[in-house]
Amino acid sequence: MRVLTTKQLAEVYGTTPGRIRDNFKAAKKHFVEGVDYFKCIGGDLRRLKAILSRLGNFEVPSPIPKLASSVILWTEKGCVRHLRQGIHLQQIKACVDMFKKLLAEIELANAASRK
């Protein structure tokens, strides 16, 4: 399953991570953990950081800050759920397309770093 961090999601939508967090807090009852997002803390977060560190050679900085004590990873469904209110269907499609493009770029960067 492909996911984005809150920071990456904010970049895709042209907003700030704080705005994404505020929207999430305001509508948390509409998001389902394990479907729309995954919250990584403790040992899971340490293992995730270790995996990303072993991949190394990112052309962009690691998507997870070194000192983060938790991170939310958004699934495609969760990314779209952020858009539910007040957005025209055409804008949702554009955002989904942008999400897929960003994921493709991340995959290319990771593949290049493995060579």
Comparing C-alpha atoms, which of 61, 47, 53 is closest to residue 5?
Answer: 61
Rounded to 5 degrees, φ, ψ at 110 are -65, -40
Instruction: Give how far the C-alpha of residue 115 lies from the chain's centroid of Cα atoms, to the nearest Å.
Output: 25
Q: Which residue has the tokens 């394990």?
A: 34
* Cβ–Cβ < 8 Å for 83, 92: yes
For the entire predicted model, the pTM comes to 0.66
Residue 86 DSSP one-character state: T
Token pair recorded at residue 115: 């060579």
Give me the pLDDT at residue 75, please: 92
- The whole-number pLDDT of residue 25 equals 87
Q: What is the pLDDT of residues 81-112, one digit of tens each?
A: 877 643 444 566 677 777 788 778 877 777 77
pLDDT tens digit sequence for 48-80: 877 777 776 555 566 777 778 888 999 988 888
CA distances from 114 to 47, 52, 55, 101 (A): 19, 12, 7, 20
